[in-house]
Structure 1
Amino acid sequence: MSSVPSERVDRYKSSKKSLSYQLTINIFHVCTDFCYIEEINGPSGDYCDETKTQYPCNPSKGYYGRGPLQLTWNYNYALAGKDIGFDGLNNPEIVATDPAISFRAALWFWMNNVHSVIGQGFGATIRAINGMECNGGNSNSVTSRVQYYTQYCNQLGVAPGDNLQC
């Protein structure tokens, strides 16, 4: 006989499903239903943080959003590249052109920047991915993510949980 109450097991199973949905919905939102693998209308900035001197920017490269979670910033490209095996500082374009690296980079970002807020609600994942959207920075984008997420959860019969807003 299990020492774990069945309602706790059910809540855990529901939570695991919810977490995978959180990743999926954030990818759908960021990529606009998988239609865009690079920032729409080109880069909105150079995303070169020169204070991160251990990750020097290549002046002929841009570190703007690419991939399913729109990897940005020179240091993220460098660290993702080191961990998953590509030269992120000199070949950031590969995140948009190689499907395997593209999704590996998204999962790398999720595990290194979002995973720590799991359990704090969907809103915490929004803040971890793009905190500039929160606190009025882009309320339409937050609303879109939350609507997407709750619709997806409803269709699959999973409770979306608390703390949906960031």
Structure 2
Amino acid sequence: MHAALCYTEEIKKSRYCDPKAKKWPCAPGRQYYGRGPLQLTWNYNYGPCGRANRFDGLKNPDIVARNRVVAWKAALWFWMKNVRPVVGRGFEPTIRAINGALECNGKNPGAVKARVDFYKGYCKRFGVAPGPNLTC
């Protein structure tokens, strides 16, 4: 079975700094790679997530990997803001909400297939149908 929710930091790290996000500027020397259960990424997520959860996400993004309470608050913040609004539309919109920019529209079909297979496996374990609209 896939080892989900076991990494506190992204394996293939990248800086994930969007200079166009003027409201949430990248702090010098900081990187906004994936951390926590849902792998929070990008300065434009760390900034507002930190504000909502009372930590400085831009200056201290590492706290999401080091503090399990902050990690789960960050995951729930991202879920409620980006994923929950699309849950009823099938699995495909959740892929887009979480990692669509890197995976959808033919960018990484292997990753999409792995996600869908993982999802189907859990649906089978719970005895529920995965429904339509699975891939992006």
Task: Give the TM bin, normalised by the shorter chain.
Answer: over 0.9
Matches of residues 15-164 of structure 1 in structure 2 within 5 Å?
Answer: 32-41=3-12, 43-44=13-14, 46-131=15-100, 132-164=102-134
d(CA) in 2 for partners of 1:69 and 1:110?
8
Q: Note the aligned Cα RMSD (angstroms).
A: 1.5
Shift of 1:33: 2.1
Other-structure match for 1:22: none
Tell me by how many angstroms 1:57 deviates.
1.2
* SS, match of residue 64 in structure 2: helix
Say if 2:6 and 2:37, in contact at 8 Å, map to a contact too. Answer: no
- Counterparts of 1:118 and 1:84, CA distance in 2: 23
- Write the letter of the residue equivalent to 1:37: T
Aligned partners of 2:64 and 2:74 also within 8 Å: yes
- Larger radius of gyration, structure 1 or 2? 1
How many Å separate the matches in 1 of 2:117 and 2:16? Answer: 29
- Partner of 1:11 in structure 2? none
Measured in 2, the distance between the counterparts of 1:147 and 1:124 equals 16
Larger RCO: 1 or 2 (CA < 8 Å, sep 6+): 1
8 Å CA contact 2:5, 2:38 repeated in 1: no
Identity between Structure 1 and Structure 2 (%): 57
Q: Secondary structure in 2 aligned to 1:119?
A: helix
- How far apart, in 2, do the equivalents of 1:73 and 1:64 lie? 7
Please report the TM-score for the alignment, with normalisation by the length of structure 1. 0.77
What is the CA–CA distance in structure 2 between the aligned matches of 1:113 and 1:156, rounded to whole Å?
24
Q: In structure 1, give the amino acid aligned to 2:33.
A: Y
Take 1:55 and 1:33, find their aligned partners in 2: how far apart are those partners?
29
Return the alpha-carbon distance in structure 2 between the equivalents of residues 70 and 110 of structure 1. Answer: 11
Runs of 4+ off more than 4 Å = none
User: Helix, strand or coil: the match of 1:127?
Assistant: helix
Show structure 1 runs of 5+ residues with no match.
1-27
Size of the aligned set, in residue pairs, is: 135
CA distance in 2, matches of 1:107, 1:35: 16
